[in-house]
Amino acid sequence: MKKYILSSIVILAVLTTFNVNGAEETVWCHDFNDNLKITMSGNEVSSLQTALFQEGLYEEKITGEFDQYTFNALIKFQEKYMKEILTPYRLTKGTGFFGKSTRAKITKLYGCALATQSTSTPLSCANYFDDICPSGCTDNSDADCCASNGKYWLKTSWNYACYDTNYGSGCIAGQMCSLVTDGCCPNWCFSDSDYDCCVQAGKCWANSQCGICPAPIKTATTTLNSTSSILKSSIATTTNATSSDCVDSDKGIDQYVYGKVVEKTYASYYDTCEGNQLKEWYCSDSGKSYKYIDCPFGCVDGVCKKSTGNSTSTKVVCSDSDGGKDYYIAGKVGHGDGFLINYDVCIDNNTIKENCCGSGYYNYEFYTCPRGCQNNACIKENIYETPTSSISSIISPKAITSTIGCTDSDNGNNYYLKGSGSGWNTNNELIKFSDTCYKDVSTNATSSCSGSYCFLAENYCEGKYVKTDLGIKCPNGCKEGGCLSATASGAQSMQDMQNQLANLFVMISQLLQKINSAK
């Protein structure tokens, strides 16, 4: 039996043992029965973090605290298994809430009922292409199968060692490699290799965790279908130097620059904040060391905040998708190295955690929503605007006080002057209106019309409410929300005069009705 440590930062419960000859495995497992959400803590949260780490989605320490890192990783898990977790609820984005469907999926993957099964698969890949293993393929074959659940990783080219110059992979001998986010480390590298495997697209592996590249190795690239013995033999015969015992990315003690220390064993130690103190890692003659530094302006993302604000030299960034503190938009903030994402989230039915940037640094606040919190944003007041061309269409909500009355720029039923204003409809929604020309009684809005099929929709106020008269005929035509007079349209016929008198009679009748109703 051999033990394979998945990460130097993971607690002992995550250690996995197996027998490469097919004997029964002893693996970490847990049956999840409780709903979990942000701000909760305990053993269940620790188990959730462990499972998310196994998925390759959680890279922080196992703390037992359902923090923003756990929240972000859980969203990625939900979106990774969208069909089983989100689609049944018609969702396309993860919620960050560990509920029934998410519990069912994660228990299916890591429940203890599966842990007792005998298997000949020593390696479980968190990330692999979704292809079926070809017949007869095993994890030790030339096809480099990762036979977890009958899946395997597609063949691709590898740079199995680092170069003394930048080969285009972003990996230089003795320096830091970029973070691994895809692929699966082959067995020989995962279990036996003393070196990182530097792969395509600037990725590298060190026992499934990113570390420093080994010393310069001048050799050509190989491919995944090469056997492990050939690869290890090549490395043994081409190594001509050793890597440094300790490497500090920010070159010593600098509380204003985010960095990390990497030892020869590839263990990484990141500058971290503990309250308003910075735990700053650096290299000394004896190896890795750290000291605590007080940050007078606060500590965030592994750096002390400067009094003058953030700058590019700190190697931390902050960007807010909703442009600042907007409690009514579900936004997100990218910070740290730019890949740490914090989403605005409803803590309960009335409180939102609003993420934002302050002086270029990540910040957040807890805000009490006046009308409650829903879909990770404060609920807006149910008041609306309408487009000027149609009084019946409701568009985006806009918070306006409900004490506003009704206003009309042409002071009532004036068919020959375009009016506009605002008032309330029968649903108690505040709308904007504008008198409009139509080519039919109430359809085919137009800027101008003439002839038999030319009408005006005239809006006016009645108390605080908006009323509309439809089908007002404009004998001389209609233009820009008002009937044209005879002077504007040319000579006036007897029929035109009769139509105008008829419209005048309608106006007088409406006026008399208002007078009688007021008595």
One-letter amino acid of 477: G
290: which strand partners? 281
Does residue 195 belong to any structural domain of this protein? no
Q: What is the pLDDT of residue 224?
A: 31
The domain that holds 36 is classified in CATH as 1.10.101.10
Q: How far is CA 271 from the centre of its chain?
A: 25
The answer to whether residue 225 sits within a structural domain is: no
Structure tokens at 207: 């026992």
**In 3D, which of 334, 74, 351 has the Cα closest to residue 343?**
334
Give the pLDDT band (50/70/90) at residue 189.
very low
The answer to whether residue 373 sits within a structural domain is yes
Distances (CA, A) of 122 to 140, 149, 191: 10, 12, 10
In a domain, 185, yes or no: no
The mean pLDDT value of the chain amounts to 67
What's the pLDDT score for residue 7?
33
Average pLDDT over residues 206-234: 31
The reply to whether 513 and 414 lie within a common domain is: yes
Whether residues 273 and 333 fall in one domain: no
Confidence of residue 197 (pLDDT cuts 50, 70, 90): very low
| End residue of a domain, out of 274, 290, 313 | 313
Closest CA to 368 of 384, 355, 386, 351: 351
Residue 356 in contact with residue 49, Cβ under 8 Å?
A: no
Residue span of the structural domain in which 483 resides: 407-518
**Which pLDDT belongs to residue 387?**
38
Q: What percent of the chain has pLDDT over 70?
A: 59
The predicted-structure confidence for 229-244, as pLDDT tens digits, reads as follows 222 222 222 222 233 5
Report pLDDT for 495: 56
Which position has the token pair 């009308």?
371
Whether the predicted pLDDT of 177 surpasses 80: no
Residues of the chain with pLDDT > 90, as a percent, come to 6
Average pLDDT rounded to a whole number, residues 118-122: 34
pLDDT of amino acid 77: 93
Q: Is residue 153 part of a domain?
A: no
**What pairs with residue 272 in β-bridges?**
279
How wide is the angle at C-alpha 416 spanned by C-alphas 410 and 419, nearest 5°?
30
pLDDT class of 252 with cuts at 50, 70, 90: confident
CA gap 244, 268 in Å, rounded: 14
User: Is the pLDDT higher at 99 or at 27?
Assistant: 99
pLDDT at position 2 is 28
Domain count, the chain: 4
pLDDT at residue 174 is higher than 70? no
Same-domain status, 299 and 323: no
pLDDT of 99 above 80: yes
pLDDT at 303: 92
Q: Of 104 and 440, which is predicted with more confidence?
A: 104
| Whether residue 361 has pLDDT greater than 50 | yes
pLDDT at position 266, please?
60
Token pair for 501: 């008198």
pLDDT at 233: 24
Boundary (domain end) residue, out of 313, 331, 350: 313
Same domain, 440 and 478: yes
473 and 467 in contact (C-beta within 8 Å)? no
At 27 the pLDDT is 63
User: What's the start-to-end Cα distance of the chain, in Å?
Assistant: 99
Q: What is the mean pLDDT of residues 261-286?
A: 82
Q: Is the Cβ–Cβ distance between 272 and 261 less than 8 Å?
A: no
Are 309 and 321 in a shared domain? no
What are the E-state strand segments in 359-502?
Answer: 361-368, 373-374, 377-378, 407-408, 420-424, 430-434, 436-438, 445-446, 448-449, 455-462, 465-473, 478-479, 482-483
On whether both 296 and 268 belong to a single domain, the answer is: yes
Q: Are residues 282 and 373 in the same domain?
A: no
Same domain for 308 and 339? Answer: no
DSSP 41: B
Residues 297 and 325 in one domain: no
